[in-house]
A and B are shown apart, each in its own frame.
Chain A
Amino acid sequence: MSAKLILEDGTVFEGESFGSKVNVTGEVVFNTGMVGYPESFTDPSYKGQILTLTYPMIGNYGVPEKIILDDLATKFESDKIHITGLIVSQYVSKYSHWDAKKSLSEWLIENNIPAISGIDTRKLTKKLREKGVMLGKIVFDGEEDIDIVDPNKDILAELVSCKEPITYGDGEKKVVLIDCGAKYNIIRSLVGRGVTVIRVPWNYDFNHLEFDGLMISNGPGDPKMCVSTVANIKKSLKKEKPTFGICFGNQLLALAAGGDTYKMKYGHRSQNQPCIDTETKRCYITSQNHGYAVDTKSLSKDWKEWFVNANDGTNEGIKHKTKPFFTIQFHPENWPGPKDTEYLFDKFVNML
């Protein structure tokens, strides 16, 4: 069955469907990671996005079984697929792996996600690189046509956040995790370090809770849409508790600190972004998934740029000069991606 990807500029890519037959619209982005599709697709930060994978063969090792361990699905980053649609060059239906339980196609169909193969993904990627991310839609003949809609006009965090506070672990120290679409491995990384995590909805005023540290999660969309979250963080900063944030969390903290964010041309979505710690000059290879960034120049003098991207010089983390507030744009919890910056969780937990 053939399917089409239509971009807002009218460009049409036609290929074969291997997912659900359903028309969708979203922001078309690309990721250059070579492994980790089960982890990526369940990353809530992809909400609203039609994801193009630049690696040309996808599906190689199938999809593992969903096993719930300590209230979290293992091997996935949330309970379901969050991408809106998938674009690949070649879909590999005959997977091979000891841990695989089903094919990628089966999994996508279960989650009602459309997917197209046979696309010149390099051509598409170059287009997105040159023109910036574009809106688009995946359409099938015979299905009712849909309009192209910009998902970033919505508060995407609301769509992926938990609805009620949930507690994980039974450690002495308590960390509030603002869930704007938190990846499970953030929770695992904290609980694994002996911390109790209280995961709260994106707009929940957690300031009445007792906690030792604040973790601001990753999440989809434009951080400026999350006005109430920023207000809650602002309030919390006055308590001067250790505050750590990842990705979207970096942007929210910057906004709470009076700084500004902007939409990048095509963002960073990959597992090979080099980030330099401005204090030690050490460079780390990081996993990333973001379309917005902190404008370093907008920060007040109390703050400094902590990490910087070695490729394009964009902000990769900020830090308060005297208080225990620090956030990063990349994903130390990885899944997918390199584990080089997991030490940041140790740093945070040790400060509690």
Chain B
Amino acid sequence: MVNKPKKILILGSGALKIGEAGEFDYSGSQAIKALKEEGIKTVLVNPNIATIQTSEHLADKVYFLPVTPYFVEKVIKKEKPDGLFLSFGGQTALNCGVELFENKVLEKYNVKVLGTPVRTIINTEDRELFSNILKSIDVSTPKSFAVENIDSAIKAADKIGYPIMIRAAYTLGGRGSGVAENKKELIDLGEKAFAYAPQILVEEYLKGWKEVEYEVVRDSQDNCITVCNMENFDPMGIHTGDSIVVAPSQTLTNSEYHKLRSVATKVIRHLGIIGECNIQYALAPDSEEYRVIEVNARLSRSSALASKATGYPLAFVAAKLALGYSLTEVKNSITHVTSACFEPALDYIVVKIPRWDLQKFTRVGKVIGSGMKSVGEIMAIGRSFEEVIQKGLRMIGQGLNGLVCNTTKINDIDDSLINPTDKRILGIAQGMLKGKTVDEIHELTQIDKWFLYKLENIVKIAKELKKSEDRKLLLVAKKNGFSDKQISIIRKKEELDIRKLRKKHNIVPSIKQIDTLAGEFPAATNYLYMTYHGDEHDVGFDNDKSVIVLGGGAYRIGSSVEFDWCCVNSVMTLKKLGYKTIMINFNPETVSTDYDTCDKLYFDEISFETVLDIYELENPEGVIISTGGQIPNNLAMPLHDYGVKILGTSPKSIDNAEDRNKFSALLDKLSIDQPEWASMTTYDEAKKFAKKVNYPVLVRPSYVLSGSAMSVITNEKELSKYLKKAVEISKKYPVVISKFYEGAKEIEMDAVAAKGEVICYAISEHIENAGVHSGDATMIFPPQRTYYETMRRIKKIGRGLAKELNITGPFNMQFLAKNNEIKVIELNLRASRSFPFVSKILKLNFIDIATKVMVGEKVIPPNKNIFEIDYVGIKAPQFSFSRLLGADPITGVEMASTGEVACIGEDIYEALLKSMISVGYDYPKKNILLSTGPINYKAEFLKSARYLVNLKYNLFSTHGTHEFLKENGIDSTEVDWPLENGDNNAVKMIKDKVIDFVINVPKNYTEEELTNDYLIRRAAVDYNVPLITNIKLAKLFIASIARYKIDDLKIMSWDEYKYS
């Protein structure tokens, strides 16, 4: 029955972006594992170097190349696979596959798409086709019209009646969609949507309807099951990716649940999906009326969530089904006894809460709606909604203690309820505290009262806790998700006092298993969570030598899949060394939380309280806190102080590196240069200091990650304005001001040391000058343009600090280099974002080495020298500005990118082009708009402008740039500023697609960039025209396109790049 292909090509999803994040590392990795088990060769195209799926031990061949039809065709031509997997790499892979199918490339090379047929994919993606097909089998869809121009859109809207919903076809995460209340809004939204897709849908707007999803699996023999259903806390109108979601549904009766289930299997059978898909419904709040909103004929964010929520390995099973296996032939890999053809029964509830990072962007709209804006998510497991929602709100890592006891104040509660933002749930809680009733809140939000009653319950308990802390109430509080810290805030005590008190009363959490069958069958699973609704543990705790690895938590700007790579690699090394591995993490989009990654997975909070609870039960050899980024790193000191054994560098040293005063003193002691800085508590002090060191200065509150609230200030006026903001953000901490060096190069060193001796290191350089956050910088490794002298000195400084802090484990340092003078700007005694990048380019796993040294294994320094590498790796950031309506698409000291890729080339030019194409750039076609910033940049850009002329591009330029180019003998067409009324309005030309590439360099570092420039940049993003805003990057990009035509870019797999 099963006709196995010999070699299968798998398409990845590229860089993490809003709407397409780490979940596809999970699905791709599971697919590869499923194929390996079958002895099938696998070829993977994915430029996302920080993923697990691009590890040496998974796919047989990895191509760090853009997932675009052009490159994938080249790979097909070279590798000659006989099968293709499209459904494991998100919308990116799906779109690419559909195009290859329509261009007959797949036919030409005789590549068979496995799983869901492409025809079916097209039927689900083309909205009109889709709704016609559903109509033909009597399944309701929203009233809708597919239109191809604005006039038809207006007519359609008139037929349906406002408000209406607009959606663009073939996009991910609802890009180009929105609600229009009137004709004007329709025209605005419609134009933007058409920039992304040739077709848009004008639809009935189902305000206040419940949003429900089912994950459906079907095999080629027509067995069809629904693995999980989910219900959104936020009703229709908020993108499901931006909604709080629970699984299973809570407010659906048997009749509703199974009615929708039946529709799901009927639709999926009729469409002919083979593998996994997701179907979304709107369900009326006052009847059993429903509408099918969409079907995603692929693994999705929801399927990753469903997989983690149920323990059912959806991607793994989908891969097997694509090979022709039936569901009954695949075993339930959790129980090992039962069949994969079943529907999990949950005896717990999970909640997913999105993680937004809107505060990182200037000018961005904070209101959430039909377009997704969140950058990550968490999943909390427990046995009551109260328990999971409070856990979940702590997990998102935005300083919340739960639903209540937070410092964030919502000023206008009604507004926060009517116009939902990322803080709406806090608005609900604070409204309740002020006496708003469930009915009133329901009226304003349409959130089902079931959820609101539950939230009200939490608020009530918080009030009771003010009066008492007797055993009964404490237990009630713990069952309702109150953390020790929350209780301590209410009781005006220390967190540890509450811990002591509850332990005295024997109030401790129970460890329960996720076993897919609600206890009906014995399960061989170590997929665990904690709850206070229990009085026994499901698992035992043995005396095996074990190590706890703390995961990275929710993906967010500054911390995402790269830390998951570090954690998973750490676990793999520990396993090899014979340790039992225990992972604590709560991010459903990760491989670290996969059922087969570690020996025990605690899908729970990474907090002082929870880690300690687990530590006390498991009694491990120690805890690794240095592979999961800043979240676990922040726990180093508190855990250490409590007596927990932290593996690796001493938490004292971590504190010495993170505390600015201590670190600065240390640098002074070692005679290592650093930018002048001072810590200020008043504005006057700050003003005086800034004057002393001369503007520009870098201002930031102390103890922060990824520069939140950091800013470069160029004058006193700005300083006064900024400080008001910064002080508001962080009252507790003083403001730190340091001298900002313009035109300085930024260099990083990633390294591992053992007992103060550096074992391995990798130095990389940024293309952009200092001023661009290291997470947004384009990074070259090995460095190509840094003096040998500089490298030598950096190495020396690294060695010195490693020795002084007695580092054992991973660390990362950042330096400024100007005129061969080196200043240290940061030292992190943990793995950094660039660990997977340098490890994979150098082909030396830094985390493997770090893990070994942290558990005391002896490691011989490896003999790998960067001078013997015959290739260059370039890591480029992925921005998601198009999803963040209104955000100014510039880079600065605040990190803004949501993901990254890295590609390999024979030189920086080839590597850069591959990387930039991977993050959405393309060769300019014909017309380039230039606006090159201040005079020194204009001069610096001259040579590049000449290149462009030689390459026969037509240059367009704004007034100043035009003048400058003209003076220097370069022809360009002058365009008018957006706010001018000229015929050659820059924005209009971008909109009309006259301009196909924009280079717009901001004039200074401040947030308040001139509106004209902002409008040009925003137009480029809104109308999907490639945009470069950094002068160094622009220059190198142009130098690259001058050297390489697309045909010259080599199609080489990772293993083909070798040391000389």
Contact = CB atoms under 8 A, between A and B. Distances in A.
Given A60-B251, A96-B453, A54 B223 contact: no
Nearest to A60: B250
Given A32-B518, A32-B520, A90-B383, A120 B535 contact: yes
Contact of A34 (B327, B339, B346): B346
Interface string B499-536: 00000000000101000011111100000000001111
Given A56-B384, A120-B535, A339-B258, A126 B519 contact: yes
Interface in A260-298: 270-274, 276, 281-283, 285
Interface in B347-394: 347-349, 383-385
Given A75-B255, A122-B534, A310 B328 contact: yes
A68 interface: no
B258 A96 contact: no
Nearest to B252: A35
Given A98-B286, A311-B521, A339-B262, A57 B251 contact: no
B4 interface: no
Contact of A57 (B250, B286, B339, B538): B250
Contacts of A281: 221, 326, 328
B183 interface: no
Given A89-B383, A120-B510, A285 B250 contact: no
A55 interface: yes
Contact of B328 (A32, A60, A99, A283): A283
Interface in B905-962: none
A126 B454 CA distance: 28
Contact of B345 (A34, A38, A336): A34
Interface string A292-331: 0000000000000000001110000000000000000000
A53 to B, nearest CB: 9
Contacts of B345: 32-34, 54-55, 270-272
A34 B347 CA distance: 8
A122 B520 contact: no
A122 B347 contact: yes
B491 to A, nearest CB: 24
B450 interface: yes
A334 B344 contact: no
B337 interface: yes
Contact of B347 (A56, A61, A97): A56
Interface in A35-64: 35-36, 38-39, 54-57, 60-61, 64
Given A33-B345, A34-B248, A54 B519 contact: yes
A282 B342 contact: no
Interface string A89-125: 1101011111100000000000000000000111101
Contacts of A95: 450
A338 interface: yes
A120 B479 CA distance: 12
B446 to A, nearest CB: 12
A312 B512 CA distance: 24
A335 interface: yes
B347 A129 contact: no
Given A32-B347, A34-B248, A54-B519, A274 B254 contact: no
A340 interface: yes
A326 to B, nearest CB: 21
Interface range for B:
35 or more
B383 A129 contact: no
Interface of A is mostly: loop
A274 B225 CA distance: 10
Contacts of B252: 35, 61
Contact of A310 (B253, B287, B339): B339
A283 B536 contact: no
A335 B259 CA distance: 11
A57 B453 contact: no
B328 A55 contact: no
A125 B251 contact: no
A129 B519 contact: yes
Given A34-B248, A35-B253, A123 B339 contact: no
B262 A282 contact: no
B222 interface: yes
B533 A123 contact: no
B396 to A, nearest CB: 23
Contact of B448 (A56, A96, A121): A96
Interface string B531-562: 00111101000000000000000000000000
Contacts of A285: 225, 341-343
A337 interface: yes
Given A54-B518, A129-B522, A97 B253 contact: yes
Nearest to B346: A34
B265 interface: yes
Contact of A122 (B287, B327, B538): B538
Contacts of A312: 338, 521
B580 interface: no
B265 A120 contact: no
A272 B450 contact: no
A311 B342 contact: yes
B285 interface: yes
A167 B450 CA distance: 41
B1032 interface: no
B338 A123 contact: no
Nearest to A37: B254
Nearest to B533: A89
A57 B349 contact: yes
B254 A35 contact: yes
A56 B349 contact: yes
Interface in B841-900: none
Contacts of B453: 94, 96
20 contacts: A32-B517, A32-B520, A35-B258, A54-B520, A56-B349, A64-B253, A89-B383, A90-B384, A94-B453, A98-B287, A121-B347, A123-B534, A123-B535, A123-B536, A125-B519, A125-B520, A273-B342, A285-B342, A310-B341, A340-B262
Given A35-B252, A285-B342, A311-B521, 6 more contacts: A32-B345, A120-B535, A129-B519, A272-B342, A274-B339, A283-B223
Closest 7 CB pairs of A and B: A36-B254, A94-B453, A96-B450, A32-B345, A32-B518, A125-B519, A336-B254
